[in-house]
Amino acid sequence: MEFVKQFPRNVRVINESWIMLSDGVRLSAKIWLPDDAENDPVPAILEYLPYRYQDGTADRDALTHPYFAGHGYAAVRVDMRGSGNSEGVMLGEYLKQEQDDALEIIEWITSQNWCSGAVGMIGISWGGFNGLQIAARQPAALKAVVSICSTDDRYSDDIHFMGGSMLCDNIAWSTFMFSLNTTPPDPRLLGNNWQEVWLDRLRESGLWLTDWLEHQHRDEFYRHGSVCENYEDIKAAVYAVGGWADGYSNSVFRLLSNLSSPCKGLIGPWAHKYPHFAKPGPAIGFLQECLRWWDHWLKGEENGTMDEPQLRFWMQDSVAPKTHHEYRPGRWLAEEQWPSPHIGSRVLFLNEHTLLPEAGEPAVLPISSPETVGLASGAWCPHGEFPDQASDQRAEAGGSLNFETAPLESDLEILGAPVVDIDVSCDRSSGQIVACLNEVLPGGAANRITYGILNLTHRNSHETPEPLVADREYRVRIRLNAIAHRFAAGNRIRLSLSTAYWPTVWPSPEKVTLRVRTASSTLTLPERSNRQTDHDIPEFPEPEAAPPLSKTVLRKPSSDWTITEDMQTGNVVVDQWFDEGEVIYDEHDGWNVDSTHHETFTIHPNDPSSARCDFTWTEAFSRGAWNMSSRTRTTVTSTPTHFLLEAILEARLGGKIVHDQKWKRSFKRRLV
């Protein structure tokens, strides 16, 4: 990455600016401006997050927002109500209150003498979600959005549920927000009011996991904030960006297919990071790409950005399985439009342990996986910074029902979502099926290309699931995550079906046996045809950014991820330790931040009721003699009928406890 020190316009930084809302709550913002913006007003780019601009996103903000400002934009980074240095309390994710506040923020921005009246929004993950959600509210000034690693469907394609099965990240993510909501504003900025603002957060922000365990189906709780409910609500131009290594690789295709407003798509090999510094590489000149987008939609420049193909993507080459890829070999390709007429369907029939282009003699094959199938799955939402991607799938195959091609005679490239249609029965009233698409190398190593999950009680609807009739055969469809991949000649394609995928998803209430009917069951691959224009796709420029943040690192970040088996009890434990390090942020007068968290996932191979998740987070902030700390712990277990939740919160100021709280709840399992 090249760090740019001189820009077309000099940059001025407003480190703390207050935005007064109509209910009297003040939101804190950091703003980067061209230093002559009051005399020559510029469009504004808003990033609106709960992740603390003073420390939580300070590193990436320093790379990104000064770059935009230096090219003629006001970059506005706002802490949401109840987060960072803002007042108020945050009671959940993507609430109407969050959107209402954003409409007031946009109105405030356009009233400033440095703003031309045009606004764009950019963000990754939460900021990608709310960019779409706020666009659906149609503020007149919001002309364009860059939405990165986000979703249009909060139930079917978010961190809570996958195919109607509960993701363990539903729990993990809640524990992060549980901890984040204990962190304080900066006393230097808020003055004597800081402690009351902090105590309000501790007392009132609550434990969001209680809501998430209450709402197990696609109801109004998840429909709110899901822009797929009415794509027509979005009038602003949308640049949808994703990464194949990320948990959010599907929404780019749906947005391209369904938005009536101008829309472009970009998908690289990346995990859950901004594309100018993401891994796996190659990173790209994403900020330059954003500038072309902003220049067109916020300044009215005709620069050709909308004359280019609607979708650009990285076609990934065949590689050996690894838990961390610094770089993923492949090439940039494009589709003029999506859906694309250049995507066909290659149908392979599930025969007795083979995948063939024609159906063979029918058979019924059983599968009842150990609950430990899934240990090689990596993280649901990899960040690319440590070994969090899927590893060699050979061991997983031993607990799965496998169907495999002969060695391929030629390369096969796919783009889109593979689909598995199977005839299956279950010996219980509830169960789940996991489909993993793997590429098997000549030596036997197996690389997971993509996967999908279906809670079989959700076979017809996520809104109104239906129990299974034991041993009745059903025709069901499993849609795998979208992907672009080249299967290499000489390798094999393997489809592995299992009844468990721990610790990606929570186990079924009881251990089940599925029976899959072959010959009528199929795997459909979205085969992409190569064409001459593939050779004409230009490369992206190399990454550029503003200079990195000045900070003093007292302890470097580190992590451990181990899997152990207790040979006496049979329990298997996935143990993850993440040390975010200890840092002093130089521009904030010695502001010291220290954070760690510990996650364990325990299960017995033969007992779904043995599943247990434990999460402990610690946060510490200090400056000189002033210091505070917090510790949260969350534990989730289950029986065949209930989820069981226990949690504690303990916050200290100067070593003395100022707030502690405990939760103990049970939640009826409703076909989950």
Per-residue pLDDT tens over the stretch 347-385: 999 999 999 999 999 999 999 999 999 999 999 999 998
Number of domains in the chain: 3
Q: For residue 340, which of 243, 484, 227, 241 has the smallest C-alpha distance?
A: 484
Model confidence at 154, pLDDT cuts 50, 70, 90, reads: very high
Model confidence at 632, pLDDT cuts 50, 70, 90, reads: very high
Tokens of 339: 């859906």
Model confidence at 532, pLDDT cuts 50, 70, 90, reads: confident
Model confidence at 386, pLDDT cuts 50, 70, 90, reads: confident
Domain for residue 535, yes or no? no
Check whether residue 150 and residue 169 sit in a common domain. no
Contact partners, residue 405, CB within 8 Å, separation at least 6: 348, 354, 355, 356, 492, 493, 494
Domain for residue 329, yes or no? no
- pLDDT at residue 444, rounded to an integer: 98
Check whether residue 120 and residue 249 sit in a common domain. yes
Segment (H or E) for 187 = helix 187-190
- 32-52 b/e with 16+ CB inside 10 Å = b? bbbeebeeebbbbbbbbbbbb
CB-based contact 299:290 (threshold 8 Å): no
What is the full DSSP assignment across 338-363? SS-TTEEEEEEEE-SSBEESS--S--
Segment (H or E) for 289 = helix 286-299
Domain boundary residue, one of 308, 334, 362: 308
Domain for residue 588, yes or no? yes
CATH number for the domain spanning 107: value is 3.40.50.1820
Is the C-alpha dihedral spanning 212, 217, 222, 228 positive or negative?
Answer: positive
The angle, 0 to 180 degrees and rounded to 10, between the axes of the packed helices 286-299 and 58-70 is: 50
Check whether residue 149 and residue 176 sit in a common domain. no
Model confidence at 620, pLDDT cuts 50, 70, 90, reads: very high
273: amino acid identity, one letter: K
Question: Do β-strands 115-124 and 42-49 pair in parallel, antiparallel, or remain unpaired?
Answer: parallel
Tens digit of each residue's pLDDT (9 = 90 or more) over 171-184: 999 999 999 999 99
Torsion of the alpha carbons at 662, 666, 667 and 671, rounded to the nearest 10 = 140
Check whether residue 484 and residue 630 sit in a common domain. no
Region 9-35: mean pLDDT is: 98
Domain for residue 319, yes or no? no
Residue with tokens 């009680």: 457
φ/ψ of residue 554, rounded to 5? -90, -30
Contact partners, residue 509, CB within 8 Å, separation at least 6: 428, 430, 608, 638, 640, 641, 669
Tens digit of each residue's pLDDT (9 = 90 or more) over 649-672: 999 999 999 999 999 999 999 999
What is the percentage of the chain residues whose pLDDT exceeds 90?
98
Tens digit of each residue's pLDDT (9 = 90 or more) over 543-556: 999 999 999 999 99
Tens digit of each residue's pLDDT (9 = 90 or more) over 275-308: 999 999 999 999 999 999 999 999 999 999 999 9
Residue with tokens 């139930």: 155
Check whether residue 500 and residue 568 sit in a common domain. no
Report d(CA 619, CA 602) in Å as an integer.
Answer: 25
* Degrees to nearest 5, angle at CA 636 with 633 and 637: 145
Tens digit of each residue's pLDDT (9 = 90 or more) over 425-475: 999 999 999 999 999 999 999 999 999 999 999 999 999 999 999 999 999
Mean pLDDT of the chain: 98
Torsion of the alpha carbons at 161, 162, 166 and 167, rounded to the nearest 10 = -90
Report d(CA 161, CA 457) in Å as an integer.
Answer: 14
Give the DSSP letter of residue 168. T
Q: For residue 166, which of 666, 638, 564 has the smallest C-alpha distance?
A: 638
What is the full DSSP assignment across 642-663? EEEEEEEEEEEETTEEEEEEEE
Region 204-218: mean pLDDT is: 98
CATH number for the domain spanning 429: value is 2.60.120.260
Tens digit of each residue's pLDDT (9 = 90 or more) over 567-614: 999 999 999 999 999 999 999 999 999 999 999 999 999 999 999 999
Check whether residue 174 and residue 99 sit in a common domain. no
Check whether residue 274 and residue 252 sit in a common domain. yes
Check whether residue 140 and residue 175 sit in a common domain. no
Check whether residue 447 and residue 396 sit in a common domain. yes
- pLDDT at residue 413, rounded to an integer: 99
- pLDDT at residue 607, rounded to an integer: 99
69 vs 72, 113, 130, 273, CA distance in Å?
Answer: 5, 15, 22, 21
- pLDDT at residue 640, rounded to an integer: 99
Check whether residue 173 and residue 128 sit in a common domain. no
CB-based contact 667:213 (threshold 8 Å): yes
Domain for residue 35, yes or no? yes
Check whether residue 396 and residue 509 sit in a common domain. yes
- 541-556 b/e with 16+ CB inside 10 Å = b? eebbbbeebebeeeee
What is the percentage of the chain residues whose pLDDT exceeds 70?
100
Check whether residue 53 and residue 136 sit in a common domain. yes
User: Quick one: the chain helix, strand, coil %, rounded to 5?
Assistant: 20, 40, 40
Report d(CA 135, CA 236) in Å as an integer.
Answer: 6
Region 112-130: mean pLDDT is: 99
Domain for residue 322, yes or no? no
Which domain covers residue 523, as residue numbers?
344-528
Give the DSSP letter of residue 139. -
Half-sphere exposure of 621 (CA within 13 A, CB side): 24
- pLDDT at residue 130, rounded to an integer: 98
Domain boundary residue, one of 280, 308, 336: 308
Report d(CA 301, CA 212) in Å as an integer.
Answer: 44
62: amino acid identity, one letter: A
Domain for residue 240, yes or no? yes
539 vs 187, 289, 650, 667, CA distance in Å?
Answer: 47, 12, 51, 52
Q: 0.85 cut: is pTM over it?
A: yes
How many CB atoms are located within 10 Å of the residue 372 CB?
A: 24
- Find the radius of gyration of the CA atoms of the chain: 25
| 553 strand-pairing partners | 583
142 vs 89, 240, 257, 347, CA distance in Å?
Answer: 26, 16, 22, 44
Domain for residue 327, yes or no? no
